[in-house]
Amino acid sequence: MPRKLAAGNWKMNGTSAELDQARALMAACPTAGVDILICPPATLLSRLSDLVRGSTIATGGQDCHANAMGAHTGDLAAEMLADAGAGYVILGHSERRADHNETDADVQAKVKAALNAGLIAIVCVGETEAQRDAGQTLAVIGTQLAGSLPNGMTDDRLVVAYEPVWAIGTGKVPTLPQIGEVHDFMRAQLLARFGNTANAMRLLYGGSVKSSNAAEIFAVPNVDGALVGGASLKAADFKGIIDALEAA
pLDDT of residue 194: 98
pLDDT of residue 163: 96
Provide the number of structural domains found in the chain.
Answer: 1
Q: How far apart are the first and last CA of the chain?
A: 13
pLDDT < 50: residue spans in the chain: none
What's the number of CA atoms in the CB half-sphere (13 Å) around residue 22?
29
Contact, 186 vs 145, CB < 8 A?
A: yes
pLDDT digit string, tens, across residues 163-207: 999 998 888 889 999 999 999 999 999 999 999 999 999 999 999
pLDDT of residue 77: 98
Contact, 11 vs 95, CB < 8 A?
A: yes
Contact, 38 vs 85, CB < 8 A?
A: no
- Distance between CA atoms of 157 and 231, rounded to whole angstroms? 26
Show the 3-state SS of 95-153: HHHHHCCCCHHHHHHHHHHHHHCCCEEEEEECCCHHHHHCCCHHHHHHHHHHHHCCCCC
Q: Name which of 48, 24, 46 is nearest 37 in CA terms.
A: 48
Could you count the other beta carbons within 10 Å of the beta carbon of residue 112? 15
Sign of CA dihedral 225, 43, 15, 106: negative
For the domain that residue 178 is a member of, what is the CATH number?
Answer: 3.20.20.70
pLDDT of residue 1: 83
Domain of residue 181, residue span:
5-247
- Supply the residues annotated as catalytic: 93, 163
